[in-house]
Amino acid sequence: MKQAVISCLHANLAAVEAVLADIDQQGINTITCLGDLVGYGPQPNEVVNLIRQRNIPTCQGCWDEDIIDGLNACECSYPSQLAERRGHRAHHWTEQQLTEDNKAFLATLPMTLRRNSHLFVHGSPNSQHEYLLPDMSAFAALERVDSAGAEILFCGHTHQPYVRELSEGSIQVKVQGNKEAPVEHELKLPVRRIVNAGSVGEPRHGGTKATYVIHDDNTQEITIHEVEYDVAATCQAIVNAGLPEVFAWRLSHGFEYAERADDASHVCER
Residues that bind other proteins (CB under 8 A): 79-83, 85-86, 126, 134-135, 137-143, 146-147, 160-179, 184, 186-187, 189, 205, 207, 211, 224, 226, 244-246, 249-250, 253, 259, 265
Q: By three-state DSSP, how is residue 181 classified?
A: coil
Q: Which is nearer to other proteins, 118 or 250 (CB)?
A: 250
Least separation, in Å, of the C-beta of 189 and other proteins? 7
- Give me the torsion for CA of 242, 244, 249, 250, rounded to 10°: -130
Rounded Cα distance between 69 and 207, Å, is: 32
Least separation, in Å, of the C-beta of 81 and other proteins? 4
Q: Which is nearer to other proteins, 56 or 166 (CB)?
A: 166
Q: By three-state DSSP, how is residue 57 classified?
A: coil
Type of residue numbered 171? I
**Which of 168-200 are b and which e, b meaning 16 or more Cβ less than 10 Å from the residue's Cβ?**
eeeeeeeeeeeeeeeeeeeeebeebbbbbbbbb
Q: Which is nearer to other proteins, 50 or 83 (CB)?
A: 83
Least separation, in Å, of the C-beta of 111 and other proteins? 17
Rounded Cα distance between 154 and 92, Å, is: 29
Least separation, in Å, of the C-beta of 136 and other proteins? 9
Least separation, in Å, of the C-beta of 6 and other proteins? 16
Q: Which is nearer to other proteins, 50 or 264 (CB)?
A: 264
Neighbouring residues of 254: CB distance < 8 A, sequence distance ≥ 6? 203, 205, 206, 207, 208
Q: Which is nearer to other proteins, 53 or 181 (CB)?
A: 181
Residue of 60, 8, 57, 61 whose CA lies nearest to 30:
57
Least separation, in Å, of the C-beta of 89 and other proteins? 9
Other CB atoms closer than 10 Å to residue 72's CB: what's the count? Answer: 9
Q: Which is nearer to other proteins, 97 or 252 (CB)?
A: 252
